[in-house]
A = this chain, B = another copy of it.
Amino acid sequence: MTSAPSGYIHGYSEREIQRLVEQAAILEDILHSGTRFSPGELILEAGCGVGAQTAILRHRHPGARIVSMDFSAGSVAAAVQHADGGDFLVADVTSPPFKNESFDHIFICFVLEHIADPVEALKGLYPLLKPGGTVTLIEGDHEACVWFPWSEASATVWRAMIRVQQDLGHDPLIGRRLHSLLSGAGFDVESCEPRIVYGDAGAQKLLEGMVNQIIVPMTITARESALSAGYVEREEWNEGIADLERSGRLPQGSFFYSFFKAVGRRP
């Protein structure tokens, strides 16, 4: 659930890119349903990271033209390699190099969490939209998250990851703020809603995928920082990660997480 790793622990290793692509595939319907970009429309993907969402945008909206940008040259290089064509450029979301009223829609997924002042960023993107155009925001909220079996160690590990992200100036609890971010930037808020993912023995594949392809690998990216900061001891870390993994595998296991998705319109 991180794509533009400013000051973050991600690399651009094949393994890390693979993780982000797998994550995007597991969550595709949950996050993208309801979004419709029409053939001929011009879409700005602001903060494309390694292109995990770009591929989904392109296959879900054939005929729409997607322009994807990211401030990280490394991410964009990986995105270009991963993508089968498409328009990519290296540019900062907070100073986008486009003329006003260029785009029909803007799509921003797992990006605002990394930006110090997301309202300012949205204000900067606002004039790029044609009047009547929309911006779609998708973000997570790491506290809207429960699992079973619960353990003190797994909760400590999860909280430690949140603190590590906060120490870096990111906001892993941004999901609950999407409505206020949009209205603060002058958009009319068309919709703002939780998008939940929940798995248990009745949806074992989703449970296993969510926990062991998304949650555990994402948590592990925070390990060294969490240990250095003293938020958790190594032994408890290992125990907590093992407990999290088990919640994705046991027949009685369950995992619940809520993303948030909001659409604002430029009047």
Interface residues of A (CB under 8 A from B): 141, 143-148, 150, 173, 175-177, 179-180, 183-184, 189, 191-194, 196, 198, 200-202, 251-252, 254, 256, 258
Contacts and interface: CB of A to CB of B under 8 A. Distances in A.
A199 to B, nearest CB: 10
Contacts of A144: 144-146, 256, 258
Given A150-B173, A176-B148, A254-B176, A194 B192 contact: no
Q: Would you call the interface of chain A mostly helix, strand, loop, or mixed?
A: strand
A184 B252 contact: yes
Given A144-B144, A256-B258, A258-B256, A180 B198 contact: no
Copies of this subunit: 2
Contact of A202 (B145, B189, B194, B201): B189
A56 B163 CA distance: 43
Contacts of A145: 144
A34 to B, nearest CB: 15
Given A144-B146, A189-B202, A196-B194, A176 B252 contact: no
A27 to B, nearest CB: 15
Contacts of A176: 146-148, 150, 254, 256
A254 B200 contact: no
B192 A200 contact: yes
A254 B198 contact: no
B201 A252 contact: no
